[in-house]
Amino acid sequence: MPIVVGQDTAKTRRSLSAGGKTFAYYSIKAAEEAGLGDFSKLPAALKVVLENMLRFEDGKTVHVDDIKAFSDWAKQGGKNPKEIAYRPARILLQDFTGVPAVVDLAAMRDGLKNLGGDPEKINPLNPVDLVIDHSVMIDEFGNARAFQMNVDREYERNMERYTFLKWGQSAFNNFRVVPPGTGICHQVNLEYLSKTVWSDKDQSGEMVAYPDTLVGTDSHTTMVNGAAVLGWGVGGIEAEAAMLGQPISMLIPEVVGFELTGAMVEGTTGTDLVLKVVEMLREKGVVGKFVEFYGKGLDNLPLADRATIANMAPEYGATCGFFPIDDETLRYLTNTGREEETIALVEAYAKENGFWRGADYAPIYTDTLSLDMSTIVPAISGPKRPQDYIALDQAAKAFGEYIKGQRPEKSAPTDEKKEWTGEGGQPAPAHIPGDVGHHKSYAVKGQDYRLHDGSIVIASITSCTNTSNPYVMIGAGLVARKARALGLTRKPWVKTSLAPGSQVVSAYLEAANLQEDLDAIGFNLVGYGCTTCIGNSGPIAPELSEAVNEGDLIATSVLSGNRNFEGRISPDVRANYLASPPLVVAYALAGDMNIDIAKDPLGQDKDGNDVYLKDIWPTSKEVADLVEQTVTREAFREKYADVFKGDEKWQGVETTDSLTYDWPATSTYVQNPPYFQDMSAEPGVITDVKGAKVLAVLGDMITTDHISPAGSFAQSSPAGQYLIERQVAPREFNSYGSRRGNHEIMMRGTFANIRIKNEMLDGVEGGYTKGPDGKQASIFDAAMAYQEQGTPLVIFGGEQYGAGSSRDWAAKGTALLGVKAVIAESFERIHRSNLVGMGVIPFEFTGGDTRKSLDLTGDETVNITGLEGDLKPLSDVPCEITMADGTVKNITLKCRIDTAIEKEYIEHGGVLHYVLRDLAVS
């Protein structure tokens, strides 16, 4: 399908030659010559958006004034929050968020048919790639059969979903599926799908070159910004609208410049660098902003490290973390097997259109900060937020302080013997330093060791964040090799796993003979997918789980991922730490967060001598030499040659060939959602929220993991009971993430995280609230009781409400529970957009009001007025809160309907309803 460009753009259209071919392109310099403004000092990230305006200018959705606004942005010191309509070139999905997106498209076909329209109009207009990467779970580990057994189990669990996705691949145009066992979507995108500069024929048949851009239904879509591809995460709702031709409504962002100087020093990794970057940018405050990295330090920063930094943009709160095109970009494209003509086009286009980072690159930024990379030290972050940075030599001490905070009832011993005060009065294990009085210990049945606070029960090399980086992966292999040679192995209570983000990783680990060393200490291949990073860590041994839970122990995990939120990694783990792959291996050897691995022994060699981290840590030269030898262009071209073909299992998945989906009535994975059933042809109007009751009062940093968990769920939960009623055995429950195609389960899983704390209840963890009768009930049961009464609901929250993953079900579930408004101190970008996309209105406190200053208990009644009639975006509106004793508090809220098109979405009941009605009359 040809790209469609705007009708009023001829004045900025030019041509260039690259690789022996001629391309049309939309010239920023030509726009300046046409008198549209001075764009010479724009950051490259913003020039990508400007080019989008030039290409799609049509006098309707994109106007000349939108283009001129970018010149004003530069004149005004990097600020001009004008609303624009942005159109990404393509869309990236993963299966957890992609399945519900395809479910919605299938349901929209049914809905359009019911409205008298043509269901074939429901088709992606932009290329869509869905990578199945979120479904594999680590049931088997630590042996040679682990990979195949986990793959087999994945297909057993998920055949209904895979059958549905195969139907979608044949039913929809412009939609491709990358089968299970290939890799993680962001790594596949970085290594294969992306091109940095795209080219395609337009509606007139001429070949046009333009920047490669995308949005994805996963917050870590930002990873590809490391290769100068502008992309960020959106909710599935927003992505579906973009698939169907709707522009993304956004404000011209502020761009924070992050200067990198110097070079990394011996003993440090890209992971250490990114954890410091996350800490600095979280402290700076970059939510809703672009971050662009610049400075001479980029000359010393491989693209693999850039991608690691770009990947964690959600963790530092930015829309994206962008690296401009330079020589390193070209080197990476060459090394990963891109076609020579593509690489020639990237260089020619970037230099011709002002996107190239040369020695004179000095744009205007809204604000800046700087980091000398030579100051970076080994580090981890945790125990529950990515921005909680800890230098490695302070990690054991910081963990001890964390334990004190978790065990205030236990007093430290004062005698010199430092006797253990945990379970059974046993003496303290010799490796626990200093003040042991705050710890608990518990014997493990059938084993000659005890678990205690800080025992590491999961150590996982996982996630696209780091497995995309050959320097840290080779480094992990070398640590394993040196440890193996000395006779060290993982501690017996540590569940170890290796889950690379692409098959290329296995190719170079095997070429370097490092996989054998990793296998020897327990880091066998368990699958190609997200695994532990998204909570698919699988069960730990039953006797360990029993010890942790009966002993009320604070067990820990160490993973090379990007998220460590409470309740995310494993239900048995309360403290989670992010670390580089080499440090994950080291912590598996130590087995304990109380050990100061920077200076204490990790274990003993064959002769009983202490082995320290410095004894097994590779030099930078050792790593670089192996990367040079084994990470080859040929490996990338071979592994991605048949990327859409899949293995025999995928090829054997059978499906029907039909325009609309024949929804299986008994499926517990895929159900026709209720959004478009009995939908009227005309939109409604925004109404005031009257007589609303409070479903939950929540604290700061309530993440989308809290709102819509992705991992396992208990038999006693509403979702578990739903499955049991349908004769599904607990062994077959799978995860919330894998069941996102079934709204019945996802409604029941909303606000069901085992660590969420509803402040309406005293000291209670989990998805509970007060029902209409004032008694404690599950949030789902209470919400359904309120719905029966016709009572609207509101949620109160703190700062950074909705941080984390871009999961649309955090908004969908909220809407289906009957919540009409979420009132918080601040919102993370994606979740706010998702709420609007589902017809739920976000509001922010003003004037210093908070849930705490208002003394909210959850027993209040809430009225929000000023919404009816001519509501302007970002308006202040009155809110009346009637307290339990009858007193009334009047406050002002800012309505976070940010743009005019978002107001229309709310009027229609959501963005998909807006699109569906539009297609019904077109």
Phi/psi for 622 (5° steps) reads -55, -45
**Residue that is written with structure tokens 């122990």 in the block:** 553
The pLDDT value given to residue 730:
92
**Residue that is written with structure tokens 């239900």 in the block:** 571
Same domain, 162 and 306: yes
The whole domain housing 520 covers: 379-634
Residue 424: CB atoms within 10 A of its CB come to 10
pTM of the model: 0.86
CB contact set of 386 (below 8 Å; sequence gap of 6+): 275, 278, 312, 315, 562, 563, 564, 578
3-state secondary structure at position 389: strand
The pLDDT value given to residue 517:
98
Per-residue pLDDT band for 425 (boundaries 50, 70, 90) equals: very low
Same domain, 119 and 256: yes
Same domain, 342 and 401: no
In a domain, 52, yes or no: no
pLDDT digits (tens, 9 = 90+) for 183-235: 999 999 999 999 999 999 998 899 999 999 999 999 899 999 999 999 999 88
Same domain, 389 and 306: no
In a domain, 3, yes or no: no
Identify the helix (H) or strand (E) that includes residue 451: strand 450-452
Sign, CA dihedral 530-536-539-544, equals positive
The pLDDT value given to residue 411:
52
Record the tokens describing residue 135, joined without a space. 């479904």
Domain count, the chain: 3
In a domain, 865, yes or no: yes
Record the tokens describing residue 289, joined without a space. 């902003």
pLDDT digits (tens, 9 = 90+) for 103-114: 999 999 998 888
Q: What is the CATH number of the domain that holds 119?
A: 3.30.499.10
Phi-psi category of residue 846: left, alpha or beta, with phi > 0 → left and psi -120 to 50 → alpha: beta
Residue 356: CB atoms within 10 A of its CB come to 21
Record the tokens describing residue 747, joined without a space. 């409604």
The pLDDT value given to residue 209:
97
Per-residue pLDDT band for 351 (boundaries 50, 70, 90) equals: very high
Identify the helix (H) or strand (E) that includes residue 586: helix 581-590
Per-residue pLDDT band for 427 (boundaries 50, 70, 90) equals: very low
Residue 667: CB atoms within 10 A of its CB come to 16
Contact 228, 323 (CB under 8 A): yes
Q: What is the CATH number of the domain that holds 878?
A: 3.20.19.10
Same domain, 831 and 756: yes
Same domain, 310 and 423: no
Same domain, 509 and 584: yes
Q: Which of 332, 356, 374 lies at the terminal end of a domain, its last residue?
A: 374
The DSSP code sequence of 466-507 is: HHT-HHHHHHHHHHHHHHHHHT----TT-EEEE--SBHHHHH
In a domain, 205, yes or no: no
The pLDDT value given to residue 410:
64
The pLDDT value given to residue 423:
38
Q: Is the pLDDT of residue 601 over 50?
A: yes
pLDDT digits (tens, 9 = 90+) for 166-182: 999 999 999 999 999 99
Which DSSP symbol is given to 190?
I
Residue 525: burial class (beta carbons within 10 Å; 0-12, 13-18, 19+): buried
Same domain, 363 and 477: no
**Type of residue found at 881:** I
pLDDT digits (tens, 9 = 90+) for 759-805: 999 989 999 999 999 999 999 999 999 999 999 999 999 999 998 77
In a domain, 67, yes or no: no
The pLDDT value given to residue 2:
67
Identify the helix (H) or strand (E) that includes residue 233: strand 230-233
- Which candidate, 195, 361, 226, 374, places its Cα nearest to that of 291? 226
The pLDDT value given to residue 810:
94
The pLDDT value given to residue 7:
64
In a domain, 592, yes or no: yes
Which DSSP symbol is given to 267?
T
Q: Which of 354, 374, 394 lies at the terminal end of a domain, its last residue?
A: 374
Phi/psi for 51 (5° steps) reads -55, -35
Per-residue pLDDT band for 29 (boundaries 50, 70, 90) equals: very high
Q: Is the pLDDT of residue 247 over 60?
A: yes
Which DSSP symbol is given to 202?
B
Contact 488, 611 (CB under 8 A): yes
Same domain, 600 and 698: no
Furthest-apart CA pair in the chain: how many Å? 85
The pLDDT value given to residue 643:
94
In a domain, 84, yes or no: no
Mean pLDDT of the region 816-830:
95
In a domain, 38, yes or no: no
Q: Is the pLDDT of residue 421 over 50?
A: no
Mean pLDDT of the region 369-394:
96
Same domain, 758 and 886: yes
Same domain, 905 and 861: yes
Lowest mean pLDDT among 285-299, 409-423, 679-693: 409-423
Record the tokens describing residue 873, joined without a space. 């975006």
Distance (Å, rounded) from C-alpha 843 to C-alpha 21?
52
pLDDT digits (tens, 9 = 90+) for 541-588: 999 999 999 999 999 999 999 988 887 899 999 999 999 999 999 999
β-strand pairing of 610-611 with 603-604 = antiparallel
The pLDDT value given to residue 805:
75
The pLDDT value given to residue 415:
34
Q: Which of 329, 347, 374 lies at the terminal end of a domain, its last residue?
A: 374
Lowest mean pLDDT among 418-422, 534-538, 818-822: 418-422
The pLDDT value given to residue 123:
92
Same domain, 791 and 856: yes
Distance (Å, rounded) from C-alpha 708 to C-alpha 740?
10
Q: Is the pLDDT of residue 499 over 80?
A: yes
Question: Mean pLDDT for the chain?
Answer: 92
Contact 138, 150 (CB under 8 A): yes
Instruction: Name residue 577's beta-bridge partners.
Output: 558
Instruction: Name residue 200's beta-bridge partners.
Output: 208
